[in-house]
Structure formats: C-alpha cells, structure tokens
C-alpha cells in the first residue's frame, strides 16, 4: 500500500463513496410487547441503512455511481441505496407492516410511519474526537451526533404546540412509545477510514470512543421516551472482499476456516464485545421499562456464509463481489469500483452475498434480516416476529 497522505485520503473517499447475548430486565419488559404495536421506525446509521440521504446531500458530480444503475438494478432503478436492491431496514419495515422509510433529506416525502436519518459514509464519532482531530474522515458532518440532532429537530417540529411552537414532550413520548428506534449499524466507517492509514492495533484505540458515542446517543433517545431500541454490532469485516483484497496475506495462518482474515474479525469482535457490555451494564439497568436489544450482525453474517448454499447463494462466490472490475479472486479493485467505467455487474445478483465488495446484495440483506429479526440474533428478541426457517 502506498504511504502518501494523498493515497490514503483518496482511498478513504472511495470507501466512503460506497459505504457507506444478555437477557436482563429489558427481556422481561419485552415479553408482553408485540410487533403490531410498532407504528413507526426511526433509523440512524450509515450505508447499511441509508435509503437516499447521501445522494440528496452530496455535492454535484460526486457519488454518481450510486445515483445510477447498476445500483438498484434488481428494482429496475437506482434509489440511493448502496445495493442492487433493498436493504435490511426495508425488509424489517415490510415485516412490521409499514412502508419503506423515506430519507430525512428527501423533499415532499411522507414521514407518517418513520424517518430514515442514516447517511452512507457517516461516522459515529465527530472528527475532532478521532485521533485528536488529526485524522482524515470524509463526510464527518453526517456523524451520529448530527443525525441525532436531526432526529430531535424532527420530533420537536412535528409535535410542536400552537403556542410559541414549543415542543410537546408528552406527544413526543407518546409517539416514541409506539415506535422502534435503530441506532446503527454505525461506527464501521470510523474504523474503515482509519484502517487505510493505520494498523489494527492503532485503530483499536478508537473502540472505546466509538462505543461511548453510540451508548450516549442511545441514552438520549431513551430519555426522550423511546421504549424499543435496537443497537446492531459490526460485521466480520475480515470476510469482506474490500479487505480480503487490500489486506491480502501470503500466510495461510492469517485466514480462518471460512477464508476470512483473522485479525480483522478479532478487531470487529472486540468492538462488539465492548458494545454488548455497555448495553448490558449501562442501558438496561438505567432504563428497566424499555426494551434494548443488540442485533448480532457479526455471527448472523458468519451463519449466512456457513449456510450460503442452502440459502440459495453460490457458495463458491460467497466472498466475491457481484459488481466490480471482473478480475481477481474477489472481483474487487478500489481503482475501478462498481459503476465505474470498465466494471460490470453479475447476471444473477441473487446468487451473491456481496454486491460491490463493501455492501451486500438484496438477497443477502433479506437473509440477514430473517436471521436477525426472525431468529436468535436479536438479543433479546423484542419484536416477536414469526421465526423464519
């Protein structure tokens, strides 16, 4: 990897372009809840959840590939989603009997059943908090704190009174009592940007700050009256084509039995362990009347890889990007990302887990949604959706 600052900055921009088990008192609180009680979803996060905010905000001439086919090819048109089609948040909304979430920055959109505040490329931490502000983090203006401010502004303006336009706290709390709030997945980009210029041991220093930012945001949402909150963990990033390509090793011992990079997966697991401990030790005891669940994206993704063939995927392509430059073991080249000249999308995205080397296909997001929200990877299970096969 080149060592110049310009290379790292450019690489980070390219990544940003496309990025985007404890049962405590909350389990008892969730026991009587029903998914039918959820009338709205409010989502904060990054490209895993963004349904169109980034392309609304992006300066002219940037992020053109996301705005055009082959992004959205399975739907027949681009939507601003970093995939060939739908995301996990879309399938969750369907399962709850709700419309797809419109992006907060969309104009003349209905927000009657929730709002999507997630922005592709967003970080959890503000840039000044990352390596004392000496670290290049593009699109840091869309950090979790910014999205949280959007969320608060939306709730205040939507539930304001006629007198002086002051917010009606009672109606805000009442609305949130019948809502589901997702905080994440977020934090992945903090690490993605840093890993282009620092080694894993250095980037691990970000974990406490990233987790603290997520937990503090959750506290603010819970203080506003939310009683169903889901906080996802990070993916096993050592299984992603982008890292399998950029961090390729000649030593077989650097890979696990699934063909993923051990060090990067251990790193992601450390983030998840700290996040889960904070949920169990801080959030659930402090908000015993609320249901706070951890969504285990890490182990559910590994389960998907393990059962790829039985889930309808081509097991031999489980770690290969559907859309890319068409070369190499993983079909990923940061110089020729999906949608750029010289790249092409595979004929059957539904057979692939990875869409562009960073994000997943609609088929994979559907499988993940079933594993998490209908299975054992939402801990505790607070939605009571029918268990999927």
Query: DSSP letters along 20-73, please?
Result: -----HHHHHHTT--GGG--EEEEE-STTT-SSHHHHHSPTTSSHHHHSTTTTT
According to DSSP, residue 80 is labeled S
Specify burial of residue 289 (Cβ count, 10 A radius: 0-12, 13-18, 19+). exposed
- Which residues are paired to 323 by β-bridges? 345
CB proximity list for 164: less than 8 A, separation 6 or greater: none
Asked if residue 235 lies in contact with residue 296, where contact means CB atoms within 8 angstroms, the answer is no
Asked if residue 369 lies in contact with residue 360, where contact means CB atoms within 8 angstroms, the answer is no
Token pair belonging to 257: 């039995």
* Nearest Cα residue to 214 out of 173, 177, 181, 180: 181
Alpha carbon distance 77, 89 (integer Å): 18
Token pair belonging to 55: 């392309």
Q: What's the pTM?
A: 0.89
User: Which residues are annotated as catalytic?
Assistant: 47, 356, 359
Q: For 352, how many CA atoms within 13 A lie in the half-sphere containing its CB? A: 27
Asked if residue 275 lies in contact with residue 211, where contact means CB atoms within 8 angstroms, the answer is yes
Alpha carbon distance 356, 69 (integer Å): 13
Residue 33 region by backbone torsions, left for phi larger than 0, else alpha for psi between -120 and 50, else beta: beta
Confidence (pLDDT) at 206:
94
CATH architecture assignment, domain 35-235+262-295+360-379: 3-Layer(aba) Sandwich (3.40)
Alpha carbon distance 280, 354 (integer Å): 32
In the chain the first and final C-alpha atoms are separated, in Å, by 43
Alpha carbon distance 366, 312 (integer Å): 12
CB proximity list for 276: less than 8 A, separation 6 or greater: 21, 22, 233, 294
According to DSSP, residue 131 is labeled G
Token pair belonging to 337: 């990302």
Confidence (pLDDT) at 3:
35
CB proximity list for 269: less than 8 A, separation 6 or greater: 236, 298
Asked if residue 47 lies in contact with residue 359, where contact means CB atoms within 8 angstroms, the answer is yes
Confidence (pLDDT) at 169:
87
CA-CA-CA-CA torsion sign (142, 148, 153, 155): positive
Instruction: Per residue of the chain (389 residues), give pLDDT as tens.
Output: 333 333 333 343 333 333 333 333 333 344 445 666 899 999 999 999 999 999 987 666 557 789 999 999 999 999 999 999 999 999 999 999 999 999 999 988 999 999 999 999 999 998 777 655 555 555 557 899 999 999 999 999 998 766 555 667 899 999 999 999 999 999 999 999 999 889 999 999 999 999 999 999 999 999 999 999 999 999 999 999 999 999 999 999 999 999 999 999 999 999 999 999 999 999 999 999 999 999 999 999 999 999 999 999 999 999 999 999 877 899 999 888 899 988 999 999 999 999 999 999 999 999 999 999 999 999 999 998 877 65
DSSP strand E in the chain: where?
40-44, 114-116, 179-183, 228-232, 291-295, 323-324, 344-345, 378-379
Alpha carbon distance 53, 325 (integer Å): 27
Confidence (pLDDT) at 161:
66
Asked if residue 207 lies in contact with residue 271, where contact means CB atoms within 8 angstroms, the answer is yes
Alpha carbon distance 53, 57 (integer Å): 6
Alpha carbon distance 284, 294 (integer Å): 11
Confidence (pLDDT) at 139:
53
Residue 52 region by backbone torsions, left for phi larger than 0, else alpha for psi between -120 and 50, else beta: left
Using DSSP, state whether 280 is helix, strand or coil: helix
Token pair belonging to 149: 């401010």
Confidence (pLDDT) at 159:
87
């Amino acid at each position: 990897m080149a060592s110049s600052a310009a290379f790292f900055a450019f690489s980070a921009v390219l990544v940003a372009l496309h990025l985007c088990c404890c049962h405590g008192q909350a389990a008892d609180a969730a026991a009587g809840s029903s998914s039918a009680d959820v009338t709205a979803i409010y989502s904060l996060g990054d490209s895993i959840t963004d349904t169109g905010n980034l392309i609304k905000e992006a300066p002219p001439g940037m992020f053109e590939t996301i705005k055009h086919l082959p992004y959205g090819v399975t739907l027949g048109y681009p939507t601003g989603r970093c995939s060939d089609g739908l995301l996990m948040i879309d399938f969750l909304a369907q399962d709850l009997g709700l419309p797809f979430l419109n992006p907060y920055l969309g104009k003349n959109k209905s927000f009657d059943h929730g709002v999507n505040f997630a922005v592709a490329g967003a970080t959890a931490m503000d840039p000044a908090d990352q390596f004392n502000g000496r670290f290049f983090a593009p699109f840091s203006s869309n950090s979790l704190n910014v999205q949280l401010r959007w969320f608060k502004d939306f709730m205040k303006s939507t539930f304001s009174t006629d007198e002086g336009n002051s917010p009606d706290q009672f109606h805000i709390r009442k609305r949130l009592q019948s809502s589901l709030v997702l905080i994440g997945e977020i934090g992945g980009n903090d690490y993605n940007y840093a890993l282009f210029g620092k080694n894993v041991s250095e980037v691990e220093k970000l974990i406490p700050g990233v987790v603290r930012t997520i937990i503090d945001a959750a506290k603010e949402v819970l203080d506003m009256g939310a009683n169903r909150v889901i906080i996802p963990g990070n993916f096993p990033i050592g299984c992603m084509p982008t890292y399998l390509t950029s961090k390729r090793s000649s030593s077989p011992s650097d890979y696990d039995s699934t063909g993923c990079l051990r060090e990067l997966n251990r790193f992601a697991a450390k983030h998840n362990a700290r996040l889960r401990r904070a949920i169990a030790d801080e959030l659930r005891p402090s908000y015993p009347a609320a249901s706070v669940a951890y969504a285990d994206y890490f182990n559910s993704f590994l389960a998907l890889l393990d059962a790829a063939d039985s889930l309808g995927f081509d097991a031999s392509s489980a770690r290969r990007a559907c859309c890319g430059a068409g070369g190499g073991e993983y079909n990923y080249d940061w110089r020729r990302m999906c949608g750029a000249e010289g790249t092409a999308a595979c004929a059957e995205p539904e057979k692939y887990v990875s869409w562009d080397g960073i994000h997943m296909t609609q088929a994979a997001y559907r499988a993940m949604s079933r594993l998490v929200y209908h299975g054992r990877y939402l801990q505790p299970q607070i939605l009571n959706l029918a268990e999927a096969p």
